Amino acid sequence: MNTPPANDRLLRALLRQPVDRTPVWIMRQAGRYLPEYRATRARAGSFLALCTTPELACEVTLQPLQRFPLDAAILFSDILTIPYAMGVGLSFETGEGPKIERPIRSAADVAALPVPDPHTELRFVIDAVSLIRRELGGRVPLLGFAGSPWTVATYLVEGGSSRDFVRIKHLLYGAPATLHALLDKLAQATLLYLNAQIAAGAQALMLFDTWGGVLTPAAYREFSLAYMQRIVAGLTRERAGARVPVILFTKGGGAWLERMAGTGADALGVDWTTDLAAARRQTGGRVALQGNLDPAVLRAPPAVIRDEVGRVLASYGPGPGHVFNLGHGVTPDVDPEHVAALVAAVQELSPACHR
């Protein structure tokens, strides 16, 4: 038997089971806003060295838990590990974000892309998962993750971050079969990768679809949601007698929550542009909801943070099925004391939602 973690609030909330208070974790909780993260990264030499060295990935995964009473750990890694393992020449230049040396733009480029074996080319991630589980000693659950095929494809095709997604939209409207072939390969690779994370000990999973919101509703269904649905359908949903919940997060996807709930995911991430009460009505209790404090609130004084946490809790309302989080990742300029204020406010204010 896989004994449940001592603190199983996150897993219970994702399955809409009763909890004593709302669980809380924060997207990018291990990151540059923490001085201890910056120190470990300096020691590692680079962000990629952190990701590819299990001991260092484990160390930074645990850092936010040593500071704050969070209800989950999230694997320290990146959604671009799959492109890295595909051998497209990934690098991260400080202050510039990811760069891909050999972008994927033609049918021939797609055909030449390998589907990485998670146990060899992505072994460093799988080893990090086992090591983190061991070091956590069952205190809180460990979340694994991957990018959605569409979101990872935007980096592969654009060659890095993008504002306007001109190149991938050129493919989408001009050569949709080529884009589908790429998404198909990414979906295969992601499914193998996530199932390997589950086998190594990940207790819940999240798919990050950061750029699904730049699509039209029809294109979202065809080029993003359909591939996430395929992944959800192929995942190992139960391991050692425990359900492995899966969270889908499309940033800017507030209008499509009902369709997202139809994929069979257990929970949906919601950004701050959607009201949780409306999201709850739209999805009719079929899924749990995760979110959705505006990350910019973390720049405000602690008293404002507390009020805004209260507003998010009130917007979800009473009852189970809510996981507190930001609507997107914490930014590097945030004072860690403000994150402490957020976590304390959830602990103080949320028990009233569960009586």
Report the catalytic residues.
28, 32, 41, 78, 155
Q: Kindly state whether residue 145 participates in binding ligand CP3, applying the rule CB under 6 A.
A: yes
Question: Which of 235, 326, 313 minimizes the C-alpha distance to 280?
Answer: 313
Say if residue 152 is exposed, middle or buried (CB neighbours under 10 Å; 0-12, 13-18, 19+).
buried
Instruction: Compute the distance between CA of residue 81 and CA of residue 110 in angstroms, rounded to an integer.
Output: 17
Q: Kindly state whether residue 97 participates in binding ligand CP3, applying the rule CB under 6 A.
A: yes
Q: Which is nearer to ligand CP3, 235 or 349 (CB)?
A: 235
Stretch that binds ligand CP3, among 3-11, 70-78, 182-190, 336-344 (CB under 6 A): 70-78
Q: Which is nearer to ligand CP3, 92 or 165 (CB)?
A: 92
Site for ligand CP3 (CB under 6 A): which residue of 52, 63, 197, 210?
210
Site for ligand CP3 (CB under 6 A): which residue of 11, 79, 183, 261?
79
Stretch that binds ligand CP3, among 22-30, 131-139, 303-311, 314-322 (CB under 6 A): 22-30
Q: Do the Cβ atoms of 23 and 8 come closer than 8 Å?
A: no
Number of residues interacting with ligand CP3: please give it, by CB under 6 A: 21
At which residue do the structure tokens 């760069």 appear? 99
* Footprint on residues 32-61 left by ligand CP3 (CB under 6 A): 32, 41, 47
Stretch that binds ligand CP3, among 2-10, 92-100, 277-285, 335-343 (CB under 6 A): 92-100
Which runs of E-coded beta strand occur in 48-186?
73-74, 90-93, 97-100, 142-147
Q: Which is nearer to ligand CP3, 211 or 256 (CB)?
A: 211
Strand 90-93 to strand 97-100: parallel, antiparallel, or no bridges (unpaired)?
antiparallel
Site for ligand CP3 (CB under 6 A): which residue of 13, 30, 58, 214?
30
Q: Kindly state whether residue 99 participates in binding ligand CP3, applying the rule CB under 6 A.
A: no
Q: Which is nearer to ligand CP3, 11 or 330 (CB)?
A: 330
Site for ligand CP3 (CB under 6 A): which residue of 28, 105, 169, 185?
28
Q: Kindly state whether residue 129 participates in binding ligand CP3, applying the rule CB under 6 A.
A: no
Instruction: Compute the distance between CA of residue 298 and CA of residue 68 in angstroms, rounded to an integer.
Output: 15
At which residue do the structure tokens 């952190």 appear? 50
Amino acid residing at 22: T
Non-local CB neighbours of 314 within 8 Å, separated by 6+ positions: none
Cα atoms found within 13 Å of the Cα of residue 170, Cβ hemisphere only = 9
Stretch that binds ligand CP3, among 77-85, 182-190, 235-243, 264-272 (CB under 6 A): 77-85
Say if residue 126 is exposed, middle or buried (CB neighbours under 10 Å; 0-12, 13-18, 19+).
buried
Six token digits for residue 237: 């949903």
Tell me how far, at minimum, the Cβ of 145 lies from ligand CP3, in Å. Answer: 5
Q: Which residues bind ligand CP3 (CB under 6 A)?
A: 27-32, 41, 47, 74, 76, 78-80, 92, 97-98, 145, 161, 208, 210, 329
